[in-house]
């Protein structure tokens, strides 16, 4: 009872409510009422959009860039966009609640709000640093799931092998590029009279953005 009373006392009340909200969220996730990506944000994408720079106002431009750069750095420092926000908030809530209970137990046994205020301010800073350290391995873990090994890469200038019967200026074929993961298969045509056959090597020289088709040329230009 004494522990429960301390948890819901004035200096610890906000941290306790914060932690209880996180517990409630995860219970709802387990029950299938919410998705783990709820309230997740993508760092970088939103902040880049918000930076609407006016070319005619040099002073405003400097301020916008400075604020945007600081915000991007802050989000990246605490892995926002790499780790789901609710996971970060859950770790932060647990840190803040634990520190609040211990600090007020030893430094503020009387439960004074005036004494608890500086403790709470220091608690936020310390908890953020602990959260940063605790979430380091989590960031690597979530990055593994976010990385798409089959996503299109920079392919212009790379050499691949023709895997269809024939490729010419009027006949679309396919070229396969080897990677460390799954191979990349591209739809290709030629921009000249050269005709490629299955097994020939070709270099990717261009891309038609509208059609999504790449242009290839012989590896040996004398061909």
Asked whether residue 141 falls in the same domain as residue 182, the answer is: no
Does one domain contain both 24 and 132? yes
- Please report, for the domain that includes residue 191, its CATH number: 2.40.50.140
Tokens representing 152 are: 């299109």
- For residue 198, give both structure tokens: 């299955």
Give me the tens of pLDDT residue by residue for the chain, a chain 223 residues long.
778 888 888 889 999 999 999 999 999 888 876 454 444 544 444 434 333 434 343 434 344 444 445 666 777 788 887 888 999 999 999 999 999 999 998 998 888 888 889 999 999 999 999 999 999 888 888 776 655 444 455 788 889 999 988 898 888 889 998 877 678 888 999 987 889 999 999 999 988 877 778 999 998 755 4
Q: What is the DSSP string of 151-173?
A: S----TT-EEEE-SSEEBTTB-E
Do residues 161 and 199 touch, judged by C-beta distance below 8 A?
yes
Does residue 135 lie within any of the structural domains?
Answer: yes
Shared domain check, 166 and 112: no
Q: Which domain holds residue 202?
A: 159-218
Domain identity same for 33 and 115: yes
Closest residue by Cα to residue 71 from 40, 45, 93, 39: 45
Do both 98 and 34 map to the same domain?
yes
**30 is a domain residue:** yes
142/90 same-domain check? yes
What angle (nearest 5°) sits at the alpha carbon of residue 164, between those of residues 163 and 169? 115
Q: Which of 146, 178, 196 is the last residue of a domain?
A: 146
The total number of structural domains that make up the chain: 2
- Specify if 27 maps to a domain: yes
Same structural domain, 32 and 86:
yes
């Amino acid at each position: 009872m004494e522990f429960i009373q301390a948890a819901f006392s004035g200096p610890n009340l906000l941290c306790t409510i914060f932690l209880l909200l996180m517990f409630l969220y995860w219970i709802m996730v387990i029950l299938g009422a919410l998705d783990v990506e709820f309230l997740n944000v993508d760092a970088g994408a939103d902040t880049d959009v918000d930076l609407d720079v006016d070319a005619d106002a040099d002073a405003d431009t400097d301020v916008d860039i400075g604020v945007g750069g600081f915000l991007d750095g802050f989000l990246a420092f605490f892995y926002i966009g790499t780790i789901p926000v609710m996971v970060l908030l859950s770790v932060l809530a647990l840190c803040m609640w634990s520190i609040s209970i211990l600090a007020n137990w030893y430094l503020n046994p009387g439960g004074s709000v005036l004494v608890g205020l500086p403790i709470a301010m220091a608690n936020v800073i310390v908890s953020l640093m602990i959260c940063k350290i605790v979430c380091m391995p989590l960031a690597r873990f979530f990055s593994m799931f976010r990385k798409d090994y089959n996503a299109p890469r920079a392919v212009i200038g790379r050499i691949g092998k023709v895997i269809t019967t024939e490729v010419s200026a009027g006949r679309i074929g396919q070229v396969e590029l080897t990677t460390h993961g799954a191979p990349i298969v591209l739809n290709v045509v030629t921009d000249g009279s050269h005709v490629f056959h299955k097994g020939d090597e070709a270099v990717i020289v261009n891309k038609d953005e509208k059609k999504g088709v790449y242009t290839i040329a012989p590896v040996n230009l004398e061909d």
